[in-house]
């Protein structure tokens, strides 16, 4: 299960809570100018500014008087007056009205010596002659202003934006044999999934603006292809998943349906029935975290603890309580995997998470997180390595903690690391099961060319380090001897990933890469696996 096209801003220092008005296109524009070609006109302060007016023109003195004595003549943006152009009575009325307003200003400011009785008489006649047009003109402007206000406050959705992405990856892995079940030091199974295959993902987003500070996000997703388990009876079934892997069984699904509201300049809320999880609600310190343009594997996207629960619906908040510090919190739920055990909103798979994101300096990002999860079938839904922690699908309660740190040494080089720990138990039973994971990585932005990206990631996916669950529930024991012994996995998987993204243009990138896995399945006698990947991404 990949992170699809979600890109998160990285640092508390850089991050500004997204103001909805910044994402609105101004599709509604009211033009108050009365020119027939709708070009806005500018006030003229000297007749010399009008390049198509010459001193020999018969109207030169009249224009000069209106400009210099009363300042009530406007020109076009190209510094022309276009005196030979026909005007409507409305346009002429607008000009008369401008002169009247200027004269009133002169009278109020005791400069009435500039206004002669003869001028006032002429203007009074013009005002009487164009009285109906002036009334109509004011009415049109008032109507436009009222209509604009009504649209801004009452229209359901002034703007709906469409965006999307398409990812297609070709991948294949080397032939290998594994010591599967029982795990007794004998390589008894061939990996049946080594054929080169294509995995693709298409996603569309509709962002509908309600107000300048709120919007609704709707996402549609269609995914084809799967890495599949290496062995049909492998308990640790998910150690080769790529980040864009999201099979939807040939159906178009709703991946996102959530409402975002900027309550204050420092507090945002997300609420919805789809796409509300820690992947979308928590800001990631790794600035290149993205399944479409970042690392290739699902494991290398983020600490698997932050995938836990794979929540669909719920509520999340994001509070920027200081310039260099923010707090994210979430409650989400998912359809239970074992309905016979528990059902309902609060008895199904539920996740509560909280993250503190700090930026001590401009170059350093640090996040600390805690997650509490209830799983109805013993699977944490992280989709990475040891994520199903009971051999007989008993429900689990889990507490998890982790941290991620990144250091931008230079604009073209940054390093980072994360670590995570989980402690789970079966409600009403004694014993617990513990896992840990870690990753260290280096990113090389703009490597060899502007917009390109290189990356090296080395880590250990989640591993059961100890399990004292009741007889029949211990996963390592069920694979090893089945004698009810406590203990963890006998080996340690090491994940090595190298990739380089070619950014062809703003919308298209191609990313080749290699993933090499030592002791897959945390099994010492399993053959290493090498995976070659070529990912192409188109976004708009």
pLDDT per residue over 460-500, tens digit each? 999 999 998 887 788 888 887 666 677 889 999 999 999 99
Q: Which whole number is the average pLDDT over 353-370?
A: 95
| pLDDT of res. 238 | 56
Burial environment of residue 165 by CB neighbours within 10 A (0 to 12, 13 to 18, 19 or more) = buried
Is pLDDT above 70 for 346? no
Q: Is 473 left (phi over 0), alpha (psi -120 to 50) or beta?
A: alpha
Q: What percentage of residues in the chain have a pLDDT greater than 90?
A: 45
pLDDT (tens digit per residue) in 78-127: 777 777 777 777 777 777 777 777 777 766 665 445 556 666 666 677 66
CA–CA dist 534, 510 (Å, integer): 7
Residue 18 is classified by DSSP as P
User: What is the model's pTM?
Assistant: 0.71
Residue 143, pLDDT score: 78
Cα–Cα distance measured from residue 427 to residue 279, given in angstroms and rounded to the nearest whole number: 27
Distance separating alpha carbons of residues 433 and 473, to the nearest angstrom? 10
Residue 22: predicted pLDDT:
31
What's the pLDDT score for residue 193?
79
Q: Are the beta carbons of 11 and 366 closer than 8 angstroms?
A: no
Q: Which position has the higher pLDDT, 421 or 116? A: 421
CA distances from 108 to 65, 103, 105, 115 (A): 20, 9, 5, 12
pLDDT surpasses 80 at 260: yes
Q: What confidence category does residue 74 fall into, taking pLDDT thresholds of 50, 70 and 90?
A: confident
> Average pLDDT, stretch 144-155?
68
Q: Which residue has the higher pLDDT, 197 or 73?
A: 197
pLDDT at 45: 67
Sign of CA dihedral 516, 521, 524, 526: negative
CB burial readout 322-331, b (16+ within 10 A) else e: eebbbbbebb
Average pLDDT, integer, range 141-162: 71
Count of CA atoms in the C-beta half-sphere (13 A) of 217: 24
Q: What is the pLDDT, as a whole number, of residue 377?
A: 87
Q: What is the mean pLDDT of the chain?
A: 81
- 62 band by pLDDT with thresholds 50, 70 and 90: confident
116-130, 409-423, 524-538: the lowest-pLDDT one: 116-130
pLDDT tens sequence across 403-415: 999 999 999 999 9
A 10 A CB-CB count for 249 gives 7
- β-strand partners of 500: 454
| pLDDT of res. 184 | 83
């Amino acid at each position: 299960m990949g992170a699809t096209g979600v890109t998160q801003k990285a640092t508390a220092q850089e991050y500004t809570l997204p103001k909805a008005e910044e994402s609105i296109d101004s599709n509604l524009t009211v033009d108050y100018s009365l020119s027939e070609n709708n070009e806005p006109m500018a006030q003229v302060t000297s007749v010399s500014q009008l390049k198509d007016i010459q001193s020999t023109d018969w109207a030169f003195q009249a224009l000069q008087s209106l400009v210099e004595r009363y300042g009530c003549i406007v020109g076009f943006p190209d510094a022309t007056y276009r005196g030979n152009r026909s005007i409507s009575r409305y346009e002429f009325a607008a000009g008369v009205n401008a002169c009247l307003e200027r004269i009133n200003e002169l009278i109020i400011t005791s400069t009435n010596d500039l206004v002669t009785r003869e001028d006032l008489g002429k203007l009074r006649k013009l005002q009487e002659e164009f009285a109906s047009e002036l009334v109509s003109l004011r009415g049109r402007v008032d109507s436009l202003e009222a209509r604009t206000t009504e649209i801004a406050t009452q229209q359901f959705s002034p703007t709906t934006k469409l965006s999307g992405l398409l990812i297609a990856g070709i991948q294949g892995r080397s032939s290998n044999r594994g010591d599967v079940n029982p795990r007794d030091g004998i390589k008894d199974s061939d990996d049946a999934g080594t054929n080169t295959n294509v995995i693709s993902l298409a996603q569309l987003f509709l962002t509908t603006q309600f107000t300048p500070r709120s919007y609704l996000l709707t996402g549609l997703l269609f995914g084809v292809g799967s890495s599949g388990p290496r062995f049909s009876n492998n308990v640790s079934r998910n150690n080769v998943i790529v980040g864009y892997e999201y099979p939807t069984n040939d159906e178009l699904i709703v991946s996102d349906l959530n409402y975002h509201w900027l309550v204050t300049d420092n507090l945002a809320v997300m609420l919805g029935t789809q796409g509300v999880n820690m992947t979308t609600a928590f800001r990631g310190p790794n600035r290149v975290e993205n399944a479409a343009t970042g690392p290739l594997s699902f494991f290398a996207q983020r600490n698997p603890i932050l995938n836990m629960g794979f929540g669909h619906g719920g509520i999340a908040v994001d509070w920027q309580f200081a310039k260099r510090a923010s707090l994210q919190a979430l409650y989400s739920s998912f359809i239970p995997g074992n309905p016979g055990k528990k059902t309902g909103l609060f008895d199904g798979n539920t996740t509560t998470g909280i993250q503190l994101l700090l930026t001590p300096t401009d170059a350093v990002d640090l996040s600390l997180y805690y997650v509490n999860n209830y799983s109805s079938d013993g699977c944490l839904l992280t989709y990475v390595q040891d994520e199903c922690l009971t051999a007989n699908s008993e429900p689990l309660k889990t507490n998890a903690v982790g941290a991620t740190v990144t250091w931008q040494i230079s604009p073209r080089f940054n390093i980072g690391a994360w670590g995570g720990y989980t402690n789970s138990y079966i409600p009403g039973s004694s014993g617990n099961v513990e896992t840990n994971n870690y990753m260290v990585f280096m990113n090389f932005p703009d490597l060899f060319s502007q917009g390109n990206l290189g990356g090296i990631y080395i880590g250990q996916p989640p591993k059961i380090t100890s399990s004292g669950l009741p007889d029949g529930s211990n996963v390592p024991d069920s694979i090893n001897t089945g004698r009810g012994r406590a203990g963890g996995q006998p080996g340690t998987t090491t994940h090595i990933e190298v990739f380089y993204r070619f950014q062809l243009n703003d919308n298209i990138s191609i990313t080749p890469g290699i993933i090499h896995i030592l002791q897959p399945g945390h099994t010492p006698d399993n053959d290493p696996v090498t995976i070659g990947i070529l990912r192409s991404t188109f976004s708009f």
